[in-house]
Amino acid sequence: MKKQNNNSEEQIYVGLDIGTTKLAMVAGKQNADGKLEIIGHEVSTSKGVRRGTVINVQKTVDGLKELKTRMLNDFGIDVGVVNLGIAGKYVESLNVEHSMMRKNPRIMITEQEINDFLETVNHMLKQPGKEIIHLIPQEYTINDESGIIDVIGAVGTSLKCKFHAVVADMSAVEMLKNCVTMADMDIANIMLEPIASAKAVLEEQEREGGVVLVDIGGGTTDIAIIKDDIVRHTCVIPFGGEAITEDLKNGLSLLKDEAEICKLNYGNAIPADVNPNDVIAFQAMKNFPTREFSLKAISEIISARLTEILETVNYEINLSQISTPLIAGIVLTGGGSLIKNTTQLASYITGMTARIGSPNHLLSHDTPNTLLSPQYSTVIGLLLNAIENDKYKFSQNNKLNDTKIAAPQEKKEKKRKFDIFGNLSNFFD
């Protein structure tokens, strides 16, 4: 995708987040200061996705086509290729290891040898109905020397590596891909969403020291545990902020919009922090009487579900079996992290420090305020990964070279490769 301006061409990149509650598309480039400059962005309500899984193809395709059209009308960007995030109950992770005897132990290990080694592991892991999204080396062992991160240039008789693999149900992945292609866009790259979010909100020292990234989205809560700048563990929990909204809706007999307002504007993760005498009034429908609800009751419902989510996070932290402390604690992001006192509840349940993470430090000073919210961490991370990874620049012979950024149109009345070589340098440049 190129931007034409006074006979000069400018390369831009697009991140696409197909979520349970929203569809988000952001186009941008890296400016001279190394910051991410946003060229265009569009967001709309997601109507065809549940818990990260496409359940209605037509509604999802229609939503993506609307985003594509609005991006052209509002910003002059004709989107041809996107960098896509993936997260859903169909995604799982596992740890594996593989070893081999080298043919020429006196010759230094080359990048090509490692690539061939990883390709072999990729083929070994293939299962019917499964697609490998990431294969992330954890550490190598040469002969009997373990804990090696970079083996290029080393010599030895035997080579072994431990991996963290992310796999997904192939039919669900194909459904997601088909929605994008049916909306007249190609896919340059697919990335697990918590890894994208981690790229957007974590500082280098946090990734080195050890950190748990928790992205509380609408349909899922996504986890990435990172230590020594390597993704060590990932998980997708099949419920998130939407479950809290449903709990409020059913528990208090509210309309969904009212429940969402309660959650975002009056919610509190710690009921003890709420005055039991404080109430909020709602008129559910026209001609219906106004009803009052206790803010403490609202908080108790929210806290119950958030506690379940964060206890599952704590279980996954223990499951990861990382032997050394994660000294940077927990970084919460996503829309669900905006509920008042969520960080305090996370600290209470896990015994770790917690903060809210947003991509502010990566973005140029003129970034729209909307995109500074934790809700957009994933799509910003997808965009950033596309820019930094040379593999996804526009030298490829694909639709990107054919699409252009037109001059912005006058607003009218609205009618209304997979990368198996997944070491961390591909994620955190």
Q: Render pLDDT for 163-200 as a digit per residue (tens, 0 to 9).
A: 999 999 999 999 999 999 999 999 999 999 999 999 99
Report the DSSP beta bridge partners of residue 268.
340
Count of domains in the chain? 1
**Does 75 fall in a domain?**
no
Q: Render pLDDT for 294-308 as a digit per residue (tens, 0 to 9).
A: 999 999 999 999 999
pLDDT at 422 over 70: no
The dihedral sign for the CA sequence 122, 126, 131, 134: negative
Mean pLDDT for 340-352 is 98
pLDDT at 417 over 50: no
Q: What is the three-class DSSP state of 238?
A: coil
Q: How far apart are CA 397 and CA 68, in angstroms?
A: 21
pLDDT at 365 over 60: yes
Q: Render pLDDT for 84-132 as a digit per residue (tens, 0 to 9).
A: 999 999 999 999 999 999 999 999 999 999 999 999 999 999 899 999 9
Judge residue 26's burial from the number of C-beta atoms within 10 Å of its C-beta, 0-12 exposed, 13-18 middle, 19 or more buried: buried
**Does 38 fall in a domain?**
no
Q: What is the pLDDT of residue 9?
A: 56
- According to DSSP, the β-strands at 211-216 and 330-333 are parallel
Beta strands in 79-229 (DSSP E): 81-86, 91-101, 130-142, 145-148, 158-169, 186-192, 211-216, 221-227
Judge residue 34's burial from the number of C-beta atoms within 10 Å of its C-beta, 0-12 exposed, 13-18 middle, 19 or more buried: exposed
Asked if residues 166 and 258 have their Cβ atoms less than 8 Å apart, the reply is no
**Does 124 fall in a domain?**
yes
Q: How far apart are CA 329 and CA 400, in angstroms?
A: 40
pLDDT at 395 over 50: no
**Does 53 fall in a domain?**
no
Query: CATH number, domain at 147?
Result: 3.30.1490.110
Q: How far apart are CA 362 and CA 384, in angstroms?
A: 9
Per-residue b or e along 328-344, where b marks 16 or more CB atoms closer than 10 Å to that residue's CB: bbbbbbbbbbbbbbbbe
**Does 351 fall in a domain?**
no
Domain with 106 in it? 91-169
**Does 350 fall in a domain?**
no
Q: What is the mean pLDDT of the chain?
A: 88
Mean pLDDT for 352-359 is 96
pLDDT at 400 over 80: no
With a pLDDT cut of 90, the percent of the chain lying above it is: 76
Mean pLDDT for 336-360 is 96
- pLDDT interval class at 291 (50, 70, 90): confident
Closest CA to 355 of 364, 365, 367, 346: 346
Type and span of the H or E element at 42: strand 36-45
Judge residue 380's burial from the number of C-beta atoms within 10 Å of its C-beta, 0-12 exposed, 13-18 middle, 19 or more buried: buried
Q: What is the pLDDT of residue 428?
A: 54
Q: Render pLDDT for 3-16 as a digit per residue (tens, 0 to 9).
A: 533 334 567 899 99
pLDDT at 414 over 80: no
Mean pLDDT for 22-37 is 92
Q: What is the pLDDT of residue 389?
A: 78
Mean pLDDT for 249-254 is 93
Q: What is the dihedral of CA 419, 422, 425, 428, to 10 degrees?
A: 90
**Does 78 fall in a domain?**
no
With a pLDDT cut of 70, the percent of the chain lying above it is: 88
For 71-80, 213-222, 275-284, 329-338, which range has the lowest pLDDT when averaged over its residues?
A: 275-284
Mean pLDDT for 63-89 is 95
Q: How far apart are CA 287 and CA 267, in angstroms?
A: 27
pLDDT at 203 over 80: yes
For 31-35, 76-80, 187-191, 324-328, which range has the lowest pLDDT when averaged over its residues?
A: 31-35
**Quick one: tokens of 249?**
């809706």
Q: Render pLDDT for 152-169 as a digit per residue (tens, 0 to 9).
A: 999 999 999 999 999 999
Q: What is the largest CA-CA distance in the chain?
A: 85
**Does 425 fall in a domain?**
no
Is pTM beyond 0.75? Reply is yes
- pLDDT interval class at 282 (50, 70, 90): confident
Q: How far apart are CA 392 and CA 88, in angstroms?
A: 24
